[in-house]
Amino acid sequence: MRNEMQMQFSALSQNESFARVTVAAFIAQLDPTMDELTEIKTVVSEAVTNSIIHGYEGNPAGSVYISVAIEDGVVELIIRDEGVGISDIEEARQPLFTTKPELERSGMGFTIMENFMDEIEVESQPSLGTIIRLKKHLAFNKALCN
């Protein structure tokens, strides 16, 4: 059985922890390990922070959209913004690359997402925003989902 949830919130840095906790609470029904839960929360933090800092360049008028679906032990996350977009996705995915070095950004967001998730897809167009699709296969108890 597929179960889904969606949320939208203002592009404010204080909402990053709200996003982490909400996604974690939703996937808790799969009884993930602490490592799995930590990895997913970290990925949500990275993607949301990228939307706020890079996508909207700190403009709180923007919105971040998250949808989560779980089915057969697979968590699908989509984090989307309608910000400035990414002109060169391959460059942005390189370790240590950042467009905001003055903010002491590590440039490891996409690298962390790639390491913690089983699949990652990034779509982006300048001035139209970015969509990040992520999947993680969890070792879970099927009885919990019935």
Residues with a catalytic annotation lie at 46, 50, 105
Encoding tokens for residue 140? 């879970």
Task: Name the burial class of residue 32, with classes exposed (0-12), middle (13-18) and buried (19+) by CB atoms within 10 angstroms of its CB.
Answer: buried
Is-contact 91 97, C-beta < 8 A?
yes
In the beta sheet, which residues pair with residue 75?
70, 136
Q: Report the distance separating Cα 87 and Cα 37, nearest Å.
A: 31
Q: What is the DSSP letter of 29?
A: G
